[in-house]
Structure 1
Amino acid sequence: MKQKILSKIGSYFFRGLLFVAPIAFTILVIQAVFNWLDDLLPVEIPGLGILILFTAIIGIGYLGTTYFMKPVFEVFETFIKRIPFLSLIYNSIKDLIGAFVGDKKKFNQPVMVQFDENAKIFKPGFITQNDLSKLSLDGFSSIYMPHSYNFSGNIIIVKNELVHPWNINSTDAMKFIVSGGVSGMEEM
């Protein structure tokens, strides 16, 4: 009897933990990001720093699309590209952000890559380049394969005939991959 009560209490505890932990960690992450962004500008009023930052980013985004300022941004980028180490950092960050947002999104073509001759093993990923002939790799594509439960992944070069389209929304595909196949199924 005592064992059964302890078992039920343990079961309730883990069910509660399963409910509370994701909420708590989500709140902690949002709070940490908010505080970090708000502290970028030395303003005493909480929240004003992040408001100024977002307003400035929106303003710069607007200016970047105007006829008058577009050449200024292009000259700035040309200048940055001439400085070796700075160019590497700037272009890497710009390409990473551009892969998720903007006109040139890269993770919008989910695929399954066949890993065996019998078509029994597949790994999901996203096409980043369809044609690698400029790298002397005719008939090959580059595929980005995110890791589960992590902010990293691998890029693989694979023959085009081993790449199969995965007819699924790219957001759902990313959820499925990053969660280790645990979530994203409801939306599919």
Structure 2
Amino acid sequence: MKLKPRRTFSYIANKALQLFLQGLIVIVPIAVTVYAAVWLFTAIDSILPNIVRTLFPDHARFQEKIITIPGLNFIILILLIIFIGWISSLFFISRLVAFFDRILEHTPGIKFIYTSVKDFLEAFAGNKKKFDKPVLVNVDGADVWRVGFITHEDAASFGLNDHAVVYVPHAYAVSGITYIVPKERIKLLTHTSSADAMKFTISGGVTEVEG
């Protein structure tokens, strides 16, 4: 029995659409990841040449020969950051860093920018990691929960000792909302890692979480 032309065309069109979507699922994550990696690499690789050109404008000819080697600036910058991290851990240098830290934290105007950036970085990588306690927090309806992270065990600074501060990330964004919530409306996710909780939230609940 032969298929009618209209039915055959519909089948082919649906199959083509299915394969197209499947192709998108395969190629888009790879393309976005590669693009982001190349962009980040290029951005970091261009930081050092720009600094050198600003500080030593008379050595432009030397710079064009040396610092334009692809990847060289990236490696140098990473090694330089590692070196700064190492010397900042030394006793004398750490005291010097702490001295400048106090100055910047009490300088009007600069204080807001400096402390905001510093606290944000330390929340992820420093000694004051904040996104290491994933929780379910009830801030909407009685049985509606959001995935978030406790950033402060209590809100005593706001006169709310029986509350905790919870940060709830937005899906597909780097933004989020900070809530001050009664502790009884917070459930610790003891069997879920911080990384899995963050991926689950940012992906809009698409990523699988092992409980």
TM-score higher than 0.5 here? yes
Asked if 2 retains the 8 angstrom alpha-carbon contact of 1:173 and 1:184, the reply is no
Question: Following TM superposition, by how much is the alpha carbon of 1:115 offset from its aligned partner in structure 2, in angstroms?
Answer: 3.8
2:29 partner SS: helix
1:25 corresponds to: 32
Question: Following TM superposition, by how much is the alpha carbon of 1:17 offset from its aligned partner in structure 2, in angstroms?
Answer: 1.1
Query: In structure 2, how many angstroms separate the alpha carbons of the residues matched to 1:117 and 1:9?
Result: 43
Query: 103, 122, 128: which one pairs with 1:98?
Result: 122
Which blocks of at least 5 consecutive residues in structure 2 are unaligned? 1-7, 50-66
- Select the structure that is richer in helix: 2
Question: Following TM superposition, by how much is the alpha carbon of 1:3 offset from its aligned partner in structure 2, in angstroms?
Answer: 1.7
Query: 53, 71, 86: which one pairs with 1:62?
Result: 86
1:183 partner SS: coil
Asked if 1 retains the 8 angstrom alpha-carbon contact of 2:139 and 2:181, the reply is no
**TM-score between both structures, scaled by the size of structure 2:** 0.84
Question: Following TM superposition, by how much is the alpha carbon of 1:117 offset from its aligned partner in structure 2, in angstroms?
Answer: 7.2
Which blocks of at least 5 consecutive residues in structure 1 are unaligned? none
Q: Root-mean-square deviation (CA), in Å?
A: 1.4
2:92 partner SS: coil
Question: Following TM superposition, by how much is the alpha carbon of 1:116 offset from its aligned partner in structure 2, in angstroms?
Answer: 6.0
1:69–1:116 Cα change, 3 Å = closer
Q: Give aligned-pair identity as a percent.
A: 37
1:63-120 Cα deviation digits (max 9, x unpaired) = 11111211111111122123112121111111101111122110011111124675x2
1:122 corresponds to: 145
The equivalences for 1:5-44 within 5 A come to 5-42=12-49, 43-44=67-68
1:131–1:115 Cα change, 3 Å = closer
1:4 corresponds to: 11
Computing the radius of gyration from Cα coordinates, the structure with the larger value is 2
1:108-148 Cα deviation digits (max 9, x unpaired) = 11111124675x21111000111212321121111000001
Query: In structure 2, how many angstroms separate the alpha carbons of the residues matched to 1:2 and 1:123?
Result: 45
Amino acid at match of 1:38: D
1:40-62 Cα deviation digits (max 9, x unpaired) = 11121111111111111001100
